Chain A
């Protein structure tokens, strides 16, 4: 069964460092997403991406965040200068539908720990 894969599974970084989280969406999907979950809290929407540009973003997704699809398979989330509060599980997701008839396929997540 096709799946969304994410790397790394866990990254530890120092505050102020840049981090890139990588995702390989399901191959025929066109819509890509990042969500995050701070430990013990809710899963929160960050950003959606389609046709090489951001479609929607939440208030969380400020200037320190950026997304990119550098090639035909990868979808990345960059955090420019990490803060302690960026420590969370980051989930990538993809779908082949924009409207209401499809489902989101989530990856297993990348755990980011900022020290």
Chain B
């Protein structure tokens, strides 16, 4: 019953940009889009979040479509250490995050 859908897996060449899509067609007006990643079985790590404007930080960029029904996480220069499961999730308050299956990103040399 996750409100987001993501591809199960993706490959990316080291040094290239990794573009991870997420569909959230039922997003409501007060819900933010959050991205986390999980490396092996470590705790999830925050990457970025946004409401409607595109966002960029030292880790990644987040592109949200104008209708807010989908978004794309961009890792501009993927490294082997970026190999992880990437989760797109929605948060309208309270940080009761619902994690779906995520996208398993494999960065290859």
Do the two chains bind? yes
Contact B42 A56 (CB under 8 A): no
Q: Which of A14-22, A39-47, A63-71, A76-84 contacts B (4 or more CB under 8 A)?
A: A39-47
Q: Is the Cβ of A56 less than 8 Å from the Cβ of B96?
A: yes
Interface residues on A, range: 20 to 34
- Residues of A within 8 Å of B94, CB to CB, are 48, 55-56, 98
A residues near B95, Cβ cutoff 8 Å: 31, 33, 48, 93, 95, 98, 102, 104
Query: Is B109 an interface position by the 8 A CB rule?
Result: no
Q: How far is the CB of A8 from chain B (nearest CB, A)?
A: 15
**Residues of chain B within 8 A of A56, CB atoms compared:** 94, 96
- Which of chain A's residues have a CB closer than 8 A to the CB of B36? 104
CB-based contact B100/A42 at 8 Å? yes
Give the interface SS of chain B, mostly helix, strand, loop or mixed: loop
A75 sits at the interface (CB 8 A): no
Given the known inter-chain contacts A42-B101, A89-B41, A108-B43, please indicate yes or no for A48 contacting B49, CB distance below 8 A: no
Interface residues of B, count at CB 8 A = 26
Contact partners of B96 in chain A: CB under 8 A: 45, 48, 56, 58
Interface membership of A109, Cβ < 8 A: yes
Q: How far is the CB of B33 from chain A (nearest CB, A)?
A: 10
| Consensus secondary structure, chain A interface | strand
Q: A42-B100, A43-B87, A43-B99 are in contact. Are A99 and B93 (CB under 8 A)?
A: yes
Q: Which residue of B lies closest to A104 (CB)?
A: B95
B41 contact from A35, A100, A103, A109, Cβ within 8 A: A109
A: residues with CB less than 8 A from B are 4, 31, 33, 35, 37, 42-45, 48, 55-56, 58, 89, 91, 93, 95, 98-100, 102-109, 111
